[in-house]
Amino acid sequence: TMGNWLVNHWFSATVLAAWLGINIFLFTYYFLFFNQDERYFYTRAILGSALAWARASAKCLNFNSMLILLPVCRNLLSFLRGTCSCCRRTLRKQLDHNLAFHKLVAYALALFTAVHTIAHLFNLERYNHSQQATDGSLHAVLSKMHLQGSDKWLNPIHSNQTTVEYVTFTTIPGLTGVIITLALILMVTSSTEFIRRNYFEVFWYTHHLFLIYFAGLLIHGIAGLVRGQTEESMEDVHPHHCAHCLTQKDEDCSHNCSKDPEFGSIPAESWKWVLAPVLLYIFERILRVWRARQKVVVTKVVMHPARVLELQMQKKGFRMEVGQYIFVNCPAISLLEWHPFTLTSAPEEDFFSIHVRAAGDWTERLIDTFQQQNLEMPRIEVDGPFGTASEDVFQYEVAMLVGAGIGVTPFASILKSIWYKFQQADQTLKTKKIYFYWLCRDTGAFAWFNDLLASLEQKMAESGKADFLTYRLFLTGWDTSIANNVALRFDTATDTVTGLRHKTIFGRPMWNSEFAAVAAAHPRSVVGVFLCGPGALAKSLQKSCHQHSSLDPRKVKFYFNKENF
C-alpha cells in the first residue's frame, strides 16, 4: 500500500517535503543567526532568546505569505494545466491539490503567527522591565541610551509610564500586528467545512480580509523597532571587547572603547517576499473582471424536481472541456459574490449549462429570481471555464465515476460528451468502459438526470455498445412506501424509482467488492477513479484505490481523482 501511495503521490510528496524543508531551514538558519550574530549582542542582552524566536518565525511568515495566493490563482492553474497537457498524468493531477496546499500554508501561517506574537509579547515585557531597571546592569544601561541622542536608542520604550498594551496599540508594528492576527483568525475559522457548506457568504466575505492582511504585512516592519549594532560601530567598538565598558569603566575603556555603540533598525523586507505574488494576483483579478464583463445570454431556464434549476447559456468565445467549472455571479442578488458550478453541458453542444441545487441563501435567491422572472431575464456574469480532474477522464481506458447527490454534475458533461462521440463515431475515443455510480438520499434527486441516462441507454443499445456504460444508482435514504412499491414491482423490466433498465440499489455501495469486480474484469488496465462528493467518501475510495492497485506495472492500477472547488 505504501508503494502504491508513493507511485500515485510522488510529486505531491516531493512538493510537501520541499516546502517543509524550506520552512525548517529558514527557521533554523535565522534562529541561529539572531541567537549568535555579534550585531545583536546588545539586543540579546535585553531580549534574550525571544529575539531569535520572533525573527525566525517572521522569516517563515514571509515565505508562506509569498505562497498563499499562488494556489488560488485560477487562471494561472488553468494555464499550467494547458501547458502541462503533454506532461505525465501524475504531474497534471497535482494541480488539483491546489486548495489542500492553500490550507496547509494557511495553517503554517497561523502557527508562525502564534510563535511570532508570543515571542514579541515576551520582548515587549523585557523592553519594559529593562527601561524600569535602575541596577546599573547592561540591559538597564542600554535602555537609557536614548537620553544621549534621539538616534542612539536600542530600547523602543523610553518612559517608565509606558505599558505593554500601550506599545501594542500605538506603534505601527504593534497595531498592524493586532490587525493582521485578527484578520488571519477570522479567515481561518470561517473557512471550516461546516461554514463553507452552510454559510458560504460568511466564508466569502471574511476571506476578503486577505486585503487587510497583506496591507498590514507590507507596513508591519517599517518602524524598525527591533534594532542591532551598525557595521561602522562594530568596527569601532566591538561588543566582545567593549560590552563590559558600559557597566564598568576601566583604563582600557577610555582608550579603545571611548565611543558608545550605535544602533540601526532591521530594514522591512516583507514587501520583497510578497510583491511578485501580489502583482500576479492583481493581474489574475483584472483578468477575472474583464472576462466577467463579457455578455452572457441565458437561452433556456428549466426547473427540475427537487428544486434544481438548470440554466442554459451562451457567451462569445466560450470554449469548454468535460468536467470543467465556472464561477457565476448574479448582480441582482449580490455584486460581489461568485459561486462555483460544474458545467453539465458537453463541449459538442452550442450552449453551456449548470444545474443549481438549493443549498444556502444565495442559491435559494437565485432559484427564486429565475422562478419569478416576468419579462426581463436576470443578468448573469460568468468567469471561466476552469479545469479540474475530470478533464482527464478520456485519458483512461477504464473510468469509474462516482457522484454523490448534486455531485453528479461533472459526470453529466462526461456522459453527454460520450453520447456525442458515439453519434459522430469518434475513432480517437481511448475509453473502452465506464462504470458510473450515483449515490442519492432521496428519489427526487434522480429525476433531472433520468432523461440523460435513458437516452444514453437507448443510444448505446442502438449502436451495439450496450455494455460500454455500466451504471449503478444507490438510494441511501428511503421510507417504507418506496420499499413496498419496489417489492410489488420487483419483476418489472424497468426500475420503479427511476424508470431505467438498471435497478436502483437500496443502501450504500460495498466499495471493496465493486473495486474487486472492476480489477477482475480489467486485469491489465489503468483505471481512473473520479469523485465529486464529500471528504469521507474520498477517503474510502482512496483507500480502495491503494488496496486494489497492483505493484506490478503490467497489472491493474487505480488512480484517484477528486473535484476541488
**Where residue 475 sits, what CATH number does that domain have?**
3.40.50.80
Q: Please provide the distance, in angstroms rounded to a whole number, between the alpha carbons at the two ends of the chain.
A: 28
The C-alpha cell 468535460 sits at 322
* Bridge partners for 516 per DSSP: none
Is the domain of 14 the same as that of 114? Answer: yes
Average pLDDT rounded to a whole number, residues 159-179: 88
The answer as to whether 71 is a domain residue is yes
Long-range contacts, stretch 481-487, CB < 8 angstroms, 24+ apart: 482/443
Q: Which of 386, 407, 428 is the last residue of a domain?
A: 386
Q: What is the pLDDT of residue 115?
A: 98
The answer as to whether 224 is a domain residue is no
The answer as to whether 222 is a domain residue is no
Q: If pLDDT is split at 50, 70 and 90, which confidence band does 484 have? A: very low
Does residue 489 carry a pLDDT above 70? no
Instruction: Give pLDDT tens digits for 18-47.
Output: 999 999 999 999 999 999 999 999 999 999
- The three cell numbers locating residue 207: 476571506
CA distances (Å), origin 203, targets 97, 111, 190, 287, 305: 20, 21, 5, 23, 29
Mean pLDDT of the chain: 84
The answer as to whether 143 is a domain residue is yes
CA distance 557 to 180: 46
The answer as to whether 199 is a domain residue is no
The answer as to whether 523 is a domain residue is yes
Q: Which of 337, 370, 386 is the last residue of a domain?
A: 386
**Where residue 344 sits, what CATH number does that domain have?**
2.40.30.10
CA distance 485 to 443: 13
Q: What is the pLDDT of residue 91?
A: 65
CB atoms near residue 376 (< 10 Å): 7
CA distances (Å), origin 544, targets 325, 440, 528: 27, 21, 12
Is the domain of 61 the same as that of 159? Answer: yes
Is the domain of 10 the same as that of 95? Answer: yes
Does residue 231 carry a pLDDT above 50? yes
Q: What is the pLDDT of residue 465?
A: 74
Q: What is the pLDDT of residue 490?
A: 43
Q: What is the pLDDT of residue 521?
A: 92
Confirm if 399 and 434 have CB atoms less than 8 A apart: yes
Does residue 264 carry a pLDDT above 80? yes
How large is the greatest C-alpha to C-alpha distance in the chain, in angstroms? Answer: 111
Chain centroid offset of residue 197 CA: 15
Instruction: Give pLDDT tens digits for 175-218.
Output: 999 999 999 999 999 999 888 878 888 898 999 999 999 999 99
Is the domain of 49 the same as that of 160? Answer: yes
CA distances (Å), origin 150, targets 134, 156, 499: 21, 11, 86
Q: What is the pLDDT of residue 113?
A: 97
Give the SS3 label for residue 115. helix
H, E, C per residue of 377-433: CCCCEEEEEECCHHHHHHHCCEEEEEEEHHHHHHHHHHHHHHHHHHHCCCCCCCCCE
Q: If pLDDT is split at 50, 70 and 90, which confidence band does 491 have? A: very low
Confirm if 121 and 163 have CB atoms less than 8 A apart: no
Is the domain of 340 the same as that of 459? Answer: no
Beta strands in 23-88 (DSSP E): none
Amino acid in position 397:
E
Is the domain of 353 the same as that of 405? Answer: no
> Which of these ranges, 118-122, 126-130, 205-209, 425-429, has the smallest mean pLDDT?
425-429
Confirm if 164 and 125 have CB atoms less than 8 A apart: yes
Does residue 391 carry a pLDDT above 80? no
The answer as to whether 535 is a domain residue is yes
- The three cell numbers locating residue 537: 467518501
Is the domain of 424 the same as that of 527? Answer: yes
Is the domain of 514 the same as that of 380? Answer: no
Q: Which of 477, 538, 481 is nearest to 506 (CA)?
A: 477
Q: What is the pLDDT of residue 178?
A: 95
Q: Which of 386, 417, 444 is the last residue of a domain?
A: 386
Is the domain of 468 the same as that of 364? Answer: no
pTM over 0.85: no
Does residue 516 carry a pLDDT above 70? yes
Confirm if 398 and 333 have CB atoms less than 8 A apart: no
Q: What is the pLDDT of residue 422?
A: 73
Does residue 427 carry a pLDDT above 50? yes
Average pLDDT rounded to a whole number, residues 318-322: 88
- Angle CA(349)–CA(354)–CA(358) in degrees, nearest 5? 160
Percent of the chain residues topping a pLDDT of 90: 39
Greatest mean pLDDT among 106-110, 370-374, 447-451, 495-499: 106-110
Q: How many structural domains compose the chain?
A: 3
Is the domain of 120 the same as that of 133? Answer: yes
Average pLDDT rounded to a whole number, residues 549-554: 83
CA distance 361 to 565: 19
Does residue 500 carry a pLDDT above 60? no
Domain range for 147 is 2-171
Q: What is the pLDDT of residue 190?
A: 94
Average pLDDT rounded to a whole number, residues 327-353: 90
- The three cell numbers locating residue 298: 441565458
Q: CA neighbours within 13 Å on the CB side: how many for 7?
A: 15
The answer as to whether 198 is a domain residue is no
Q: What is the pLDDT of residue 89?
A: 59
Q: What are phi and psi of 398, to 5 degrees?
A: -125, 135
Is the domain of 356 the same as that of 299? Answer: yes
Higher pLDDT, 40 or 506: 40
